[in-house]
Amino acid sequence: MRQLILVMLVVSLAISANGQNKTCDFRIDSLSKEKIYTRFDKSPTYGESVSTTYEYISKNFRFPNHYSGNETIVASFIINQCGEIMDIKLVEKSKNPLVNENFVQTLTSMRKWNPAICNGKQVKAEIILPFKFQ
């Protein structure tokens, strides 16, 4: 039976034990010239906790027929101030194009996130997530 193992290393989130950081860092997006935060006081979350992200993807990701891979996909995306997911990019792709397509569709279908907070304000946040498929 195919098993989806999600190894969620939230590289850009730098989540501490209580999800709090005391320093906000950002980069300037080269196209929009907007601030994209890479470190925040409160990390963006999907639902109540990080495990909600795992549950959603496990439930909604559809493996292509006859897929038997054992690989990791790394996705990068932005959660904007309204909690919408945007600018999804696969930094590391599957060898199977249908896995890549289905993974992006699964992320795109997610309802709103709770946005990142920096200095009491909702901010755009970059997230980098590796997911391991077995």
Q: Give the DSSP per-residue string, 7-49.
A: ----TTT---TTSB-S--EEEE-TTT--EEEEE-SB--BSTTS
Q: Give yes or no for residue 9 having a pLDDT over 50.
A: no
As a whole number of angstroms, the distance between CA 114 and CA 39 comes to 15
> Is the confidence at residue 82, as pLDDT, over 70?
yes
Going along the chain from its start, the domains and CATH numbers come out as: 4-133 (3.30.1150)
DSSP state of 113: P
21 pLDDT higher than 70: no
Give me the pLDDT at residue 37, please: 96
Which has the closest alpha carbon to 41: 128, 129, 125? 125
* CA-atom Rg of the chain in angstroms: 15
What pLDDT does 23 receive? 83
* C-alpha to C-alpha distance for 79 and 22, rounded to whole angstroms: 20
Q: Does residue 83 contact residue 32 with C-beta atoms inside 8 Å?
A: no
pTM of the model: 0.79
pLDDT (0 to 100) of residue 55: 87
> Do residues 120 and 67 touch, judged by C-beta distance below 8 A?
no
